[in-house]
């Protein structure tokens, strides 16, 4: 069975990345053997690579220019980003950083690299999770849709009360559902959303059905759909929000890394002493 | 004893008659028309009470005068009226005329680096541009019909092959009946008078006057049939003699309503099973095969009986030959049913002629290749046809399993369109794919029908459906006609950003806005170019294979 295009591309790119890493090690060995300042050479290369990675953000702003597709840049960003890890190790010379600036810079690099890897994981897994919900939502529209769902839920319950005067469903709504429809979800949910609340509320609503009047049962049916929709909205808000916050963190770390790296480079050049 | 005349029958005319093509069509003019050919030969009694011949002429036609050299029909344009020459002479250009000769600007060229940089700088650095600013606010006053002239009539007559059209001749009917671009340019050789006939009226005249229908069919047979047959892949191997015999054997049939947009494409509005039942049946599964069907225009749904309903197994558009595989295989019956999706114009080629003339030109290997089934799942085919998404030639399809909802596509679209995105990243979803609300540049662009100024048009070079901002009068006809809600009416703003109001009505001036496929951008569609995760693609859904290819990426 022939491989999918993306799988082929991934295999080729991974093989290329392996070749580049081997080449980097061979280059560093050669620099070392020739008694050159290998830390300077790897430093320039590392900073250049980080600059190229950061340039992707600039490319995103210049949508009208034929600078290559964003897809190509993203691929290059991921593989060059992975290649910076062994390059960083070569630059450090496989030792722990010493001094506060070096340690901060190394910590910043590790944080940026880790956030990149996490981002890669998130961008590969979150879309599949989002696609599983019945409807798709635009992040910016979620607050207004939440308000609409909450209003509909309240109206459905009040409709049941108006029809028969029974308040069983209204009591359940006030006690268990009002908070779900009107309050934001917890931080834990934002980090790792689950369907536990939906299941719990479905269970409580199902258990109360035998106590309800016909009008209330019709309202309860509507509530089932609205609970599902509210839960989907919360899920989309949490997962899409996570992706957006991740981009913000990754960008902030990148700029910090660029600034600290430039400072480190200036100091390294200033303190290099006489030529060997 | 006096005989009292029966009271006049009150009937309700078609809805289109609420707005006659030309309010100046008086009874006197209609009487005069009824006295000339071909209307003189038509039998008014053959027309139903709801669409009498007189009513058709009064509401679906208009008489216009054109000066010598004036253009009547431009090659490549879409139109909703056919023409009957009443007086004078016209010329039809058998060779294509240059864009300059027919008063068209050349197709919009893609911008180069310099203008791309300037536009990007303007977007990135500001000052913020007011959105949707129109250069010519006074464009609203464009008259309903602009006079355009062939620039160099003697030169055209000398250098190009032309044919003369005389009084009584009909032209422009093919584009109207098949909703396809005009195939030739026609201009007035002398001052002339023509009768324009709205496509609905033309169809009614053909329906109730067999002789008129035969005449129109004969025109098609004479002028266009061979071109269509030559462009049909199955018939490309025929020699000239065989093609003549095939052409002579062909008859024409139409199924369904040409105005298919009247039936909403949203299947939530109509039960999907009911939808298939409502679609006009062309061929029933199990019927004997007596002909191959060549699709002239429209779409056909091919389905198999499954339980109480039908399962779609394929859909086909213009150029397809239905039944060819079965005839190649020597089958005696249709193995599938065929329905018209909306409407379907077919050319019927008798089975014996097909077997004698066409089948021998195909080797066994080629026949097997043609019979290879599509690999799209049946439910996806159902979905595409039920929502008529197969009409999209450049549909925006988003792979939801890859889309991170970063909205880079929307931002890129906004950045290349003065801050206003031309699509919404929402739309129907199926099987992990979202068919976003972006203009699909349809195979059958119903939005173009009825535009009073021709502002919405298809670029003859690229096939992109575009709106000319300077001639759009904001009438909303296209936005209302688009069955997919992919055209928005937006407010026109002055250079300072203020909304521009109509002096007379006090209402904001509007114009239609839609995806133009970034045809002036050096990058092509900015949305696709900006997608980092390869999730968004512009694909031709009229070819099921394109969706298969997308799924296989």
Residue B293 CB-density burial (10 A; 0-12 exposed, 13-18 middle, 19+ buried): buried
The mean pLDDT of chain A is 91
B522–A66 C-beta distance less than 8 A:
yes
CA nearest to A248 within chain B: B406
Nearest to B404 among A69, A127, A136 (CB): A127
pLDDT at B401: 93
The reported pLDDT for the residue numbered B370 is 54
Decide: residue B535, CB within 10 A, 0-12 exposed, 13-18 middle, 19+ buried: buried
pLDDT in tens, A136-195: 999 999 999 999 999 999 999 999 888 888 889 999 999 999 999 998 899 899 888 999
Is residue B511 within 8 Å of B367, Cβ to Cβ? no
pLDDT at B275 over 50: yes
Q: What is the pLDDT of residues B60-95, one digit of tens each?
A: 899 999 988 888 888 877 777 899 999 999 988 877
Quote the CA–CA distance of A229 and A232 in Å, as a whole number.
Answer: 5
Unique residue bearing structure tokens 């070749």: A19
Chain B hits for A128, Cβ within 8 Å: 401
Q: What is the pLDDT of residue A221?
A: 93
Model confidence pLDDT, tens digit, residues B198-227: 887 888 888 889 888 888 888 887 877 887
Contacts of B160 (CB under 8 A, 6+ apart): B93, B94, B95, B97
Closest CA to A131 of B303, B52, B403: B403
Distance, in Å, from the CA atom of B12 to the CA atom of B476, rounded to the nearest integer, reads 26
Per-residue pLDDT band at B538 (split at 50, 70, 90): very high
Contact B400 A136 (CB under 8 A): yes
Q: Assess B529–A contact: CB distance below 8 Å, yes or no.
A: yes
Could B120 and A243 be called an inter-chain contact, meaning their C-beta atoms sit closer than 8 Å? no
pLDDT mean over B87-114: 71
CB B201 within 8 A of CB B47: no
Show the tokens assigned to B19: 């707005």
DSSP per position, B38-94: TGGGS-GGGS-TTS-HHHHHHHHEEEEEE-TTBEEE-TT---SEEEEEEES-EEEES
Contact between chains at B120 and A66 (C-beta distance less than 8 A): no
Closest CA–CA distance from residue B305 to any residue of chain A (Å): 29
Q: In what order do the strands lie in the sheet with B192-198?
A: B61-66, B192-198, B81-87, B170-171
Q: B412–A63: do the CB atoms touch at under 8 Å?
A: yes
Q: What is the mean pLDDT of residues A208-229?
A: 92
Name the range with the highest mean pLDDT among A31-40, A123-132, B479-488, B508-517: A123-132
Looking at chain B, which residue has its C-alpha nearest residue A246? B406
d(CA B176, CA B79): 6
In this predicted structure, the answer to whether residue B1 has a pLDDT above a threshold of 50 is: no
* Chain centre to alpha carbon of residue B26: 31
Minimal Cα distance from A134: which residue of B?
B429
Average pLDDT over every residue of B265-269 = 57
Our measurement of the distance from residue B242's CA atom to the centroid of its chain's CA atoms, rounded to an integer in Å, reads: 31
Spatial distance between the Cα atoms of B86 and B80, rounded to a whole number of angstroms: 19
Q: Does B49 touch chain A (CB under 8 A)?
A: no
Q: What is the mean pLDDT of residues B298-302?
A: 88
Interface probe for A, chosen from B126, B403, B534, B537 (most Cβ of A below 10 Å), is: B534
- Asked if residue B283 has pLDDT above 80, the reply is yes
The reply to whether B434 touches chain A by the CB within 8 Å rule is yes
Q: Which residue of A has its CA nearest to B533?
A: A71
Query: What does the pLDDT read at residue B139?
Result: 39
Q: Does A65 touch chain B (CB under 8 A)?
A: yes
Chain length of chain A? 276
Provide mean pLDDT across the span B155-175. 83
pLDDT of residue A232: 95
Token couple for A214: 């016909």
Contact at CB, B523 and A66, closer than 8 angstroms: yes
Q: Which of A6, A64, A69 to mutate to test the interface with B (most CBs of B within 10 A)?
A: A64
- Any B CB within 8 A of A131 CB: yes
CA distances from A145 to A235, B153, B354, B425 (A): 13, 62, 59, 16
What does the mean pLDDT of chain B come to? Answer: 81
| Average pLDDT score over residue span B432-457 | 84
Please tell me which residue, B359 or B63, carries the higher pLDDT value. Answer: B63
At residue B318 the predicted structure's pLDDT band, cuts being 50, 70 and 90, is confident
Name which of B407, B429, B553 is nearest A4 (Cβ-Cβ): B553
Residue B2 has pLDDT above 60, yes or no: no
Percent pLDDT > 70 in chain A is 98
Nearest one of B74, B72, B96 to B86, comparing CA atoms: B72
Which pLDDT score is estimated for B486?
93
Please tell me which residue, B273 or A125, carries the higher pLDDT value.
Answer: A125
For chain A, say whether B512 makes contact (Cβ under 8 Å).
no
Say yes or no to pLDDT of B460 above 90. no
3-state secondary structure of A195: coil
User: Please, are residues B442 and B436 in contact by the beta-carbon 8 Å criterion?
Assistant: no
pLDDT band at B228 (very low <50, low <70, confident <90, very high): confident
- The reply to whether residue A65 touches residue B534, judged by beta carbons under 8 angstroms, is no
**A37 close to B (CB below 8 A):** no
In terms of CA atoms, which chain A residue is nearest residue B416? Answer: A64
Under the banding of pLDDT at 50, 70 and 90, the label for residue B137 is very low
Would you put residue B286 in left (φ > 0), alpha (ψ -120 to 50) or beta?
Answer: left
A57 touches B: beta carbon within 8 Å: no
pLDDT of residue B471: 76
Q: How far is A116 from chain B (nearest CA, A)?
A: 15
Instruction: Put residue B432 in one of left, alpha, beta given phi > 0 → left and psi -120 to 50 → alpha.
Output: left
The percentage of chain B sitting over the pLDDT mark of 70, rounded to a whole number, equals: 82
The vertex-B300 CA angle with B448 and B359, nearest 5°, equals 125
User: Which pLDDT score, from 0 to 100, does residue B264 have?
Assistant: 54
Lowest mean pLDDT among B265-279, B343-357, B476-490: B265-279
Q: Min CA distance, A32 vs chain B (Å)? A: 39
Q: Residue B159 — pLDDT band, cuts 50, 70, 90?
A: confident
Please check the confidence at residue B131 and state whether its pLDDT lies above 80: no
Q: Cα-atom radius of gyration of chain A, to the nearest Å?
A: 28
A273 vs A246: which has the higher pLDDT? A246
Least confident of A47-56, A77-86, A246-255, B409-418: B409-418
Mean pLDDT of A26-42: 83
Q: Residue B198 belongs to what H/E stretch?
A: strand B192-198
Q: How far is B542 from chain A (nearest CA, A)?
A: 23
Pairing label, strands B488-491, B281-283: unpaired
Q: Strands across the sheet with B90-93, in order?
A: B71-73, B185-188, B90-93, B162-165
């Amino acid at each position: 069975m022939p491989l999918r295009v993306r799988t082929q591309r991934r295999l080729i790119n991974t093989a290329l990345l392996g070749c580049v890493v081997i080449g980097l090690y061979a280059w560093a060995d050669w620099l070392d053997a020739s008694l050159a300042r290998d830390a300077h050479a790897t430093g320039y290369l590392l900073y250049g690579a980080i600059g190229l990675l950061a340039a992707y953000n600039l490319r995103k702003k210049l949508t009208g220019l034929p600078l290559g597709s964003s897809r190509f840049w993203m691929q290059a960003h991921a593989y060059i980003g992975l290649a910076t890890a062994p390059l960083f190790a070569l630059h450090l010379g496989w030792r722990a950083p010493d001094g506060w600036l070096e340690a901060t810079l190394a910590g910043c690099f590790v944080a940026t690299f880790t956030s990149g890897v996490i981002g890669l994981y998130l961008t590969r897994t979150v879309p599949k999770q989002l696609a599983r919900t019945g409807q798709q939502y635009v992040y910016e529209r979620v607050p207004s849709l939440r308000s609409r769902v909450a209003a509909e839920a309240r109206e459905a319950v009040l409709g049941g009360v108006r029809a028969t005067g029974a308040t069983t469903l209204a009591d359940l709504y006030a006690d268990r559902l009002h908070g779900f429809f009107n309050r934001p979800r917890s931080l834990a949910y934002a980090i790792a959303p689950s369907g536990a609340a939906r299941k719990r509320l479905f269970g409580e609503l199902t258990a109360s059905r035998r106590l309800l009047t016909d009008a209330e049962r019709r309202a309860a049916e509507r509530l089932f759909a609205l609970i599902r929709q509210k839960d989907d909205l919360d899920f989309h808000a949490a997962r899409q929000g996570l992706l957006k916050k991740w981009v913000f963190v990754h960008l902030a770390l990148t700029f910090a890394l660029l600034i600290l790296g430039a400072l480190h480079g200036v100091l390294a050049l200033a303190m290099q002493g006489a030529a060997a | 004893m006096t005989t009292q005349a029966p009271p006049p029958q009150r009937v309700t005319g078609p809805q289109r008659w609420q707005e006659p093509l030309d309010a100046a069509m008086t009874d006197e003019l209609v009487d005069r028309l009824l006295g000339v050919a071909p209307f003189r030969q038509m039998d008014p009694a053959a027309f139903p009470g709801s669409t009498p011949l007189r009513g058709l002429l009064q509401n679906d036609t208009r008489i216009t005068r054109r000066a010598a050299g004036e253009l009547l029909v431009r090659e490549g344009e879409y139109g909703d009226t056919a023409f009957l020459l009443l007086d004078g002479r016209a010329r039809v250009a058998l060779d294509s005329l240059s864009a300059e000769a027919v008063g068209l600007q050349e197709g919009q060229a893609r911008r180069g680096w310099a203008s791309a940089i300037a536009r990007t700088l303007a977007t990135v650095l500001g000052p913020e541009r007011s959105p949707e600013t129109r250069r010519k606010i006074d464009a609203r006053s464009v008259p309903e019909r602009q006079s355009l002239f062939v620039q160099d009539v003697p030169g055209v007559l000398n250098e190009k092959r032309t044919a003369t059209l005389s009084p009584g001749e009909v032209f422009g009917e093919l584009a109207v009946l098949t909703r396809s671009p005009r195939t030739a340019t026609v201009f007035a050789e002398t001052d002339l008078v023509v009768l324009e006939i709205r496509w609905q009226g033309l169809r009614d005249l053909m329906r109730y006057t067999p002789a008129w229908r035969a005449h129109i069919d004969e025109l098609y047979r004479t002028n266009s049939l061979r071109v269509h047959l030559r462009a049909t892949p199955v018939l490309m191997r025929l020699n000239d003699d065989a093609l003549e015999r095939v052409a002579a054997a062909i008859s024409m049939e139409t199924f369904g309503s040409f105005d298919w947009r009247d039936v909403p494409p949203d299947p939530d509005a109509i039960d999907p099973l009911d939808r298939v039942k409502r679609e006009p049946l062309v061929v029933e599964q199990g019927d004997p095969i007596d002909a191959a069907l060549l699709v002239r225009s429209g779409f056909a749904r091919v389905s198999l009986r499954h339980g109480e309903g039908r399962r779609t197994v394929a859909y086909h558009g213009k150029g397809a030959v239905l039944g060819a595989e079965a005839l190649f295989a020597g089958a005696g019956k249709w193995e599938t049913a065929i329905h018209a999706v909306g409407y379907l114009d077919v050319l019927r080629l008798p089975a014996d002629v097909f077997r004698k003339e066409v089948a021998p030109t195909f080797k066994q290997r080629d026949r097997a290749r043609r019979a290879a089934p599509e690999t799209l799942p049946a439910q996806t085919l159902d979905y595409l046809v039920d929502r008529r998404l197969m009409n999209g030639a450049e549909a925006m399809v988003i792979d939801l399993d890859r889309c991170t909802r970063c909205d880079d596509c929307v931002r890129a679209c906004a950045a290349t369109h003065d801050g206003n995105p031309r699509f919404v990243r929402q739309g129907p979803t199926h099987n992990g794919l979202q068919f976003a609300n972006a203009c699909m540049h349809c195979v059958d662009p119903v939005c173009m029908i009825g535009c009073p100024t021709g502002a919405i048009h298809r670029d003859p070079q690229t096939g992109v459906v575009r709106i000319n901002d300077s001639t759009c009068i904001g009438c909303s006809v296209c936005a209302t006609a688009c069955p997919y809600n992919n055209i928005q009416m937006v407010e026109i703003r002055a250079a300072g950003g203020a909304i521009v109001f109509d002096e007379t009505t006090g209402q904001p001036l509007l114009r239609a806005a839609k995806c133009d496929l970034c045809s002036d951008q050096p990058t092509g569609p900015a949305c696709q170019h900006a997608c980092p995760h390869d999730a968004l693609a512009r694909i031709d859904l009229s070819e099921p294979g394109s969706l298969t290819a997308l799924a296989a990426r």
